[in-house]
Structure formats: structure tokens, C-alpha cells
Amino acid sequence: MKVVIPMAGYGTRLRPHTWSKPKPLVTVAGKPVLGHVLDTVAGLPFVDEVIFTVGYLGEQVEEYVRQEYPGLRARYIEQRELLGQSHAVWLAREHLAGPMLMIFVDTLIEADLSRLAQEKAGAVAFVKAVPDPRRFGVAEVGPHGRVTRLVEKPQDAANNLAVVGLYYFADAAALLQAIEAQMARKTQLKGEYFLADAINILLAGGLEMRVEPVEVWMDCGTPESLLETNRFLLDHGRDNSAEAARRPHSTGLYRPDRRAAPGGHRAARHHRRRLRHREVDLAGLDRRCRVEHRRHDAGPVADRAGRPRRRPPPLAQRRRFVRSRLRLGIPRLPAGHL
């Protein structure tokens, strides 16, 4: 079985973190998002190869996979034109045959994928029941338990099975034919070909697709959802304490207790505490905490309400700003303004 992971986007919703790294390498709970995704599939015995459709800063993805997953058979295909999910699969057409798994890298799920080795259906869409499905794409299920079509952002909440970005196809060639038909019809939205439209072509042609519910579905596409996912993983024992303890000059992970104070944070009680040689979960610190000599990518920092906090500009940028004001005859700003 081949696994296709599209990841060629710019990650604009996660800037400034994605100015210097691709979105899949943004850290959550001490590990890049891509690492959490690969942990789900790397141990499956029936996975022959993982195909990454890369673009912006794709060489960083290749280096990370080579260092952290040396035994993983990986292939990298560059998507130079960002024409959508279906186009990303179509670029890998020469390497796809037989069963395949497609995973979107900005979502994390917990599901038992080992059962796919004995799967009888032609396709499987992994879904999660949500209170309000109008913000998601949903799978409409008929009376026989088969998916009849996928609907993007439905107008009502009659069907609440949101698709979570994980699909299994027993025949990759059939999916590629549907994608070619989709591209020939120019079925696209805002210049992109979405996989849901290709799947609907397959369903109209008689594809038997079933749904597989998942219990945990976490989003990593925005700073707010990234912080929420970070908290969930840390609260459920998915931190990097064991790894940090093995590092030199490290005494483990410091994680403030968020349950004791208003707003869910107790970090304000620690704002005068000096933490030396510690691995700190910055998602639990508020703006009154001070972190010095940071040597790793800590991810977004939150204020007391859990909102992402904007970091101050670097020193060189502040100096250029001051010099430009002086050249224009504008007096200096008060100390500490920037």
C-alpha cells in the first residue's frame, strides 16, 4: 500500500511560524506535526512507500524524514503549481497502483489503521461526529450504510459526519481516472481541484465507500487550533519529557498547571521563577512569563486567555525602524515602546 501526503502549501494561516519552515514541521507537543502523522503509518507492515507532495521549503521535510525516520521508504514529488489536493495525487500517478491511503498533514487523528489490511470496501472515509457540521465537509450516508456523496459545508446540520482528511482507496488507478475526469471538466473551486469532487465522480460511478468513525480529531491549521491541540496532547501524555530527559543539561519538561487559575492558567504564579536548563511548554505560559536563552522552536506562545501572542520584532528590525524615523526628522519613541 502507498501513502500519499500532500503538503505543498505555504501555510499562510500559521505565519510567522511558516516564514522559515513548512507547515508540517511546526511543533506541537514537542514534535513536528508531520512526526505525529508519520507515527500513525510508519509502523504499519503493509505500507510499502510514503509519497510526499512537497513545495515550499520541501527540502526541510526531506531532511527531517531522513533523520527521524531512516527506515521509512519515502519519495518526494514537487508540486510547483498549487492546484489543489487532486492535482497533488495526480502528480504521483506513475507511482500509484493498488491500494492507497491519503492523509492531510494539518490534522491529527487517532484510529486503528491496521484493519485496512483486510478491508473489503472499495474506499473508506474516516469521519468524526460534530455538533455543527456546517464548517466542514461531510459524508452523506445512505440507508445501506454506504456513502452517497461528499458535501462541502452543508447548509443544515442533518448530517454531522465530518470527514477528517484521511481516505483509503482499494484501487488507486480508479481514483486517478476520476481525477483526470475532474480536471477535464474543470471542476474546481478558487483555482484548486479538491479531492471531494473526484470522490463524488467515483461514487456516481458505483464506488462502494463506507465511513469509519474516529474518536480523536485535532486540527493544526491555525494558531488557535494548534494551541488547543498542543494542550490536548500534553494533557494526554503525548509530551517530550522522556526525550528531553535524555538530552544533556536537561531536567525534563516544565509544564504549568492550567487547572488552578482563572482563564485556565497558573503560569502567572511562576512568572518570577527562574527555570534554567529546562524544556518548557510555552503554550502554558502567559505574557508575564520570561523565557531566556531559548535554543529550540517552541511554537506559538499564548496569553492568559489562550490567544496566540505576537512576538516583538527582532532587534535588527527595530533598529532599522528607529533609523528610518530619525532620517525623516521624527523624534525617538519613549524607551521600551518597541
Name which of 164, 154, 286 is nearest 221 in CA terms: 164
Amino acid at 57: L
CA–CA distance, 287 with 310 (Å, rounded to integer) = 10
pLDDT band at 114 (very low <50, low <70, confident <90, very high): confident
Amino acid at 103: I
Q: Which of 55-64, 184-193, 291-300 has the lowest mean pLDDT?
A: 291-300
- Do 167 and 198 touch, CB atoms closer than 8 A? no
Q: What is the mean pLDDT of residues 302-311?
A: 52
- Do 182 and 86 touch, CB atoms closer than 8 A? yes
**Residue ranges per domain, the chain?**
2-219, 240-330
**Mean pLDDT score of the chain, rounded to an integer?**
78
Q: What percent of the chain has pLDDT over 90?
A: 22
- Between 114 and 156, whose confidence is greater? 114
Query: For the domain 2-219, what is the CATH superfamily, name and number?
Result: Spore Coat Polysaccharide Biosynthesis Protein SpsA; Chain A (3.90.550.10)
Name which of 52, 41, 40, 49 is nearest 7 in CA terms: 52
At 197-220, the pLDDT tens digits run 999 999 999 999 999 888 888 877
Q: Which of 42-51, 230-239, 259-268, 327-336 has the lowest mean pLDDT?
A: 259-268
At 288-306, the pLDDT tens digits run 556 555 554 445 544 444 5
Location of C-alpha cell 452543508: 154
- Do 22 and 14 touch, CB atoms closer than 8 A? no
Q: What is the dihedral of CA 239, 241, 246, 247, to 10 degrees?
A: 80
pLDDT reading at 22 higher than 90: no
Residues near 60 by Cβ (< 8 Å), separated by ≥ 6? 21, 22, 25
Instruction: Please give the C-alpha separations between residue 27 and each of 50, 220, 297, in angstroms, as whole numbers.
Output: 21, 10, 7
CA–CA distance, 78 with 51 (Å, rounded to integer) = 11
Q: Which of 29-33, 91-95, 202-206 has the lowest mean pLDDT?
A: 29-33
Q: What is the mean pLDDT of residues 314-321?
A: 72
What's residue 135's pLDDT? 76
At 132-166, the pLDDT tens digits run 877 788 888 888 889 999 988 777 777 888 888 89
Query: Rg (Cα) of the chain, in Å, rounded?
Result: 23
CA–CA distance, 5 with 58 (Å, rounded to integer) = 13
pLDDT reading at 9 higher than 60: yes
What's residue 188's pLDDT? 85
Quick one: which H or E segment has residue 228? helix 223-235
- Between 129 and 326, whose confidence is greater? 129
